[in-house]
Chain A
């Protein structure tokens, strides 16, 4: 995932307001590590211009300001070593070598106040409801297509649309059991959803591990502050997985299905299995006999009732999808269709988190729930629409243009940062295949104080809360805050110089 760049155009009233706020902050914290910290016109998650003070936040800032920078650096080095030793790493493969990399941890937390969390939580729940209703609809009656709210071709012709799901019912009509909603904040402090991750969103392990890290290396920062806990995730997820298990099973056997130890997110798979207290299996540990899924144990074949899978649709079952897949389980989809096993997330959710479908999410929410989106989208133009394409081509230098099929921040154009040659080249690509692109205005993303080489500096952040849905939806308080560590960078992806922060939801 990637964040678009801030707009160069700024209304004078906004900048005046922001400058006042940051001016205040520099006078009240003009010592310690916050000395010289100046977010200028950007919305700062800690100083929060124009918002009422929160006592915990005030205390946090004075504790932070009292810390010598040397102490922060030492702790930061401790944290880095700790992550490597604990193997809280992702594996990067280049040529024949495998390197274990850490997601850099910035030890200054990102803070969310109770009213902000209230909006995020209700907004995420609303969005997950709409996503599930949308998925049910497009795999059943297709009313939303018939009513012309979302173009038929966009859905039915989408690579993420799964024929095997047509007419198939899932428990509680829940398709997206785990959802990661990427949220940013613009220069006015308004939250906006950047994208939905409804397939196999990752990162939740870092939410919990980052908290543990704070408790280890910054105990004096968090001591006595009322911060919402994050340790419930495994239990909540396990309960949801048990809820969706086939009816009549008393103690359902849940497993985490991983591609294996060479997968870059393997640490998270370990984390999930450990937190849920269930086996971490690979495709080769499972088999389908008599239309049911079994796992190979030391006692023989034992029944499996729910599979929390962390492998993509295409690799799940060589009978139905990619016939070359070595990661999946032959016959799994057939067993699922018979109702003898539950799979989370459901197959075919990719159509709902598609970047082009994303543009329709506000309309999708209004259509099914008759409610306004609690968390608005970033204004998005769908380049397959002629007007949108014309606008995008005309304003290319000030827009972010993203290919709809890519992830990881690859293949996108950040207009204000591009050279003339890059713009010209991209213009041709866009004209050749407009339906592959969406465009968005560049946002001035919010920042959070971050330990950098030259001191504590403002760096852009986003937020990915995790929602777990069985019968109902529960949102883990907080989420993964990613931070773009390079000055001015808006790309928070771990593969491109991003780090992460502990996220504190205050009580």
Chain B
């Protein structure tokens, strides 16, 4: 395949909108997975603790308790599925995704826009009747299917010029971020009991984590002998084949940044690439093994901040520099 020379410019503001469009759509999928898995697999004795963990992942405990007295399926469901005033609900996410898609309407494919627009009205149409126990899983399935349809349509129709690269980086940033949060909350949730060792976490809880990340079966295939904290963490953080591992997502971002530099002659990638270098060095098997020997939580906090920083580097690098090009 010959190297295409891309001449069309991308408006800086549109680059950022692409990042956000992908992030919000990905966020809906992650939230739906989490709610579904919690509803289905985490119905052990400590129901409240399981619903609380979703609130922890999103840093929403305070907001939640302002509105609801108790963390249970009905209240957490309402908070995340129906509450348009909650900035981390699917209602907010789909509205933001649609607004970004609207901004990008001249750039994204018409099929992408159409699907988001229809998906938006489905989500806007959700009501309390959809949250009863017998409806909860179908609603989560609808959300997952909607976002997966989006992902598939994007794969098949989005022209792969600059805009697509930014879109893809948004998706990978969000996946990496969500996976660290998922892992972090479990360690946090169980912190009092595992002061000595993370190993104590029982099989049921690892199940839940892996299922929420759509990694349960892949993990079993890789580690048929059971769960070890080191191995689960290594899988979610560093596995090079698992679509939601932090390492794989960072690696994809690196590829996109390199493409933007080599094929489009863009000079804004330096800071992001530098940060990625440092980040990926911590995600090798050896390095992860050392981290897991100690407490994982501080490392996950650091990782989350770095992923946020990476988003910032990309925005800063590609949307704010003032050099004049061409004439």
User: Could you tell me which A residues sit within 8 Å of B by CB distance?
Assistant: 85-87, 253, 256, 261, 266-267, 269-270, 273-274, 277, 279-282, 284-285, 289, 294-303
Contact (Cβ within 8 A) B117 A85: yes
8 additional contacts (CB under 8 A) given A302-B9, A302-B325: A86-B113, A266-B102, A273-B106, A274-B105, A298-B162, A301-B325, A302-B326, A303-B326
B30 CB to nearest A CB, Å: 26
Contact (Cβ within 8 A) B11 A301: no
Interface-facing stretch out of B72-80, B202-210, B230-238, B314-322? B314-322
Contact (Cβ within 8 A) A298 B15: yes
Contact (Cβ within 8 A) A296 B105: no
B residues less than 8 Å from A289 (CB atoms): 324
Indicate whether A298 sits within 8 Å of B12 (C-beta atoms), given known contacts A86-B110, A261-B102, A289-B324.
yes
Indicate whether A270 sits within 8 Å of B325 (C-beta atoms), given known contacts A284-B13, A299-B264.
no
For residues 99 through 125 of chain B, which have their beta carbon under 8 Å from a beta carbon of chain A?
A: 99, 102-103, 105-106, 110, 113-114, 117-118
Of B8, B99, B118, B325, which is within 8 A of A300 by CB? B325
Count chain B CB atoms within 10 A of each CB in A256, A267, A299, A302 and give the residue with the most.
A299
Contact (Cβ within 8 A) A297 B106: no
For residues 1 through 41 of chain B, which have their beta carbon under 8 Å from a beta carbon of chain A?
A: 8-15
**Contact of B226 with A by CB under 8 A:** no
**Contact of B266 with A by CB under 8 A:** yes
Contact (Cβ within 8 A) B11 A300: no
The docked-state distance in angstroms from the alpha carbon of A284 to that of B17 is 14
Residue of B whose beta carbon sits closest to that of A82: B114
The docked-state distance in angstroms from the alpha carbon of A279 to that of B11 is 7
Contact (Cβ within 8 A) B117 A285: no
Contact (Cβ within 8 A) A299 B265: yes
For residues 250 through 291 of chain B, which have their beta carbon under 8 Å from a beta carbon of chain A?
A: 260, 264-268
For residues 48 through 85 of chain B, which have their beta carbon under 8 Å from a beta carbon of chain A?
A: none
Residue of B whose beta carbon sits closest to that of A285: B11
B residues less than 8 Å from A274 (CB atoms): 105-106
**Contact of B225 with A by CB under 8 A:** no
The docked-state distance in angstroms from the alpha carbon of A32 to that of B307 is 65
B residues less than 8 Å from A87 (CB atoms): 102, 105, 113-114, 117
Of B105, B118, B318, which is within 8 A of A298 by CB? B318
The docked-state distance in angstroms from the alpha carbon of A300 to that of B319 is 8
**Contact of B327 with A by CB under 8 A:** yes
A residues less than 8 Å from B102 (CB atoms): 87, 261, 266
B residues less than 8 Å from A301 (CB atoms): 322-325
A-B CB contact pairs (8 Å), 9 listed: A87-B102, A87-B114, A274-B105, A280-B106, A298-B266, A299-B9, A299-B265, A299-B266, A299-B267
The docked-state distance in angstroms from the alpha carbon of A279 to that of B266 is 18
Contact (Cβ within 8 A) B321 A300: yes
B residues less than 8 Å from A280 (CB atoms): 105-106
The docked-state distance in angstroms from the alpha carbon of A488 to that of B75 is 54
Residue of B whose beta carbon sits closest to that of A276: B106
A residues less than 8 Å from B322 (CB atoms): 300-301
| Closest A-B pairs by Cβ, 4 of them | A273-B106, A300-B323, A297-B9, A270-B105
The docked-state distance in angstroms from the alpha carbon of A297 to that of B10 is 5
Residue of A whose beta carbon sits closest to that of B98: A87
Residue of A whose beta carbon sits closest to that of B105: A270
A residues less than 8 Å from B106 (CB atoms): 256, 269-270, 273-274, 279-280
B residues less than 8 Å from A296 (CB atoms): 11-13, 319
Contact (Cβ within 8 A) A86 B114: yes
User: Could you tell me which B residues sit within 8 Å of A by CB distance?
Assistant: 8-15, 99, 102-103, 105-106, 110, 113-114, 117-118, 162, 166, 260, 264-268, 318-319, 321-327
A305 CB to nearest B CB, Å: 11
Contact (Cβ within 8 A) A85 B114: yes
The docked-state distance in angstroms from the alpha carbon of A273 to that of B110 is 13
B residues less than 8 Å from A266 (CB atoms): 102
Of A256, A277, A294, which is within 8 A of B324 by CB? A294
B residues less than 8 Å from A300 (CB atoms): 321-325
B residues less than 8 Å from A281 (CB atoms): 11
The docked-state distance in angstroms from the alpha carbon of A299 to that of B318 is 7
A31 CB to nearest B CB, Å: 38
Indicate whether A297 sits within 8 Å of B12 (C-beta atoms), given known contacts A86-B117, A87-B117, A261-B103.
yes
The docked-state distance in angstroms from the alpha carbon of A300 to that of B265 is 11
B313 CB to nearest A CB, Å: 14
A residues less than 8 Å from B267 (CB atoms): 299
The docked-state distance in angstroms from the alpha carbon of A302 to that of B265 is 14
A residues less than 8 Å from B266 (CB atoms): 298-299
B residues less than 8 Å from A261 (CB atoms): 99, 102-103
Residue of B whose beta carbon sits closest to that of A295: B11
Residue of A whose beta carbon sits closest to that of B323: A300
A residues less than 8 Å from B323 (CB atoms): 300-301
Contact (Cβ within 8 A) A297 B118: no
Of B9, B15, B264, B268, which is within 8 A of A295 by CB? B9
The docked-state distance in angstroms from the alpha carbon of A285 to that of B103 is 13
B133 CB to nearest A CB, Å: 31
Residue of B whose beta carbon sits closest to that of A296: B12
The docked-state distance in angstroms from the alpha carbon of A280 to that of B318 is 18
The docked-state distance in angstroms from the alpha carbon of A302 to that of B325 is 5
Contact (Cβ within 8 A) B325 A299: yes
A192 CB to nearest B CB, Å: 37
The docked-state distance in angstroms from the alpha carbon of A281 to that of B102 is 13
Residue of B whose beta carbon sits closest to that of A300: B323
Residue of A whose beta carbon sits closest to that of B268: A298
A276 CB to nearest B CB, Å: 9
Residue of A whose beta carbon sits closest to that of B101: A87
The docked-state distance in angstroms from the alpha carbon of A261 to that of B96 is 13
Residue of B whose beta carbon sits closest to that of A284: B13
The docked-state distance in angstroms from the alpha carbon of A253 to that of B10 is 12
B242 CB to nearest A CB, Å: 31
Residue of A whose beta carbon sits closest to that of B14: A279
The docked-state distance in angstroms from the alpha carbon of A302 to that of B324 is 6
A149 CB to nearest B CB, Å: 44
The docked-state distance in angstroms from the alpha carbon of A266 to that of B101 is 13
Count chain B CB atoms within 10 A of each CB in A85, A274, A297 and give the residue with the most.
A297
The docked-state distance in angstroms from the alpha carbon of A295 to that of B326 is 12
A residues less than 8 Å from B268 (CB atoms): 298
Residue of B whose beta carbon sits closest to that of A290: B324
B residues less than 8 Å from A270 (CB atoms): 105-106
Residue of A whose beta carbon sits closest to that of B163: A298
B residues less than 8 Å from A279 (CB atoms): 9-11, 14, 106
The docked-state distance in angstroms from the alpha carbon of A261 to that of B113 is 14
B278 CB to nearest A CB, Å: 24
A residues less than 8 Å from B105 (CB atoms): 87, 267, 270, 274, 280
A340 CB to nearest B CB, Å: 11
Residue of B whose beta carbon sits closest to that of A269: B106
Contact (Cβ within 8 A) A303 B13: no
The docked-state distance in angstroms from the alpha carbon of A64 to that of B318 is 56
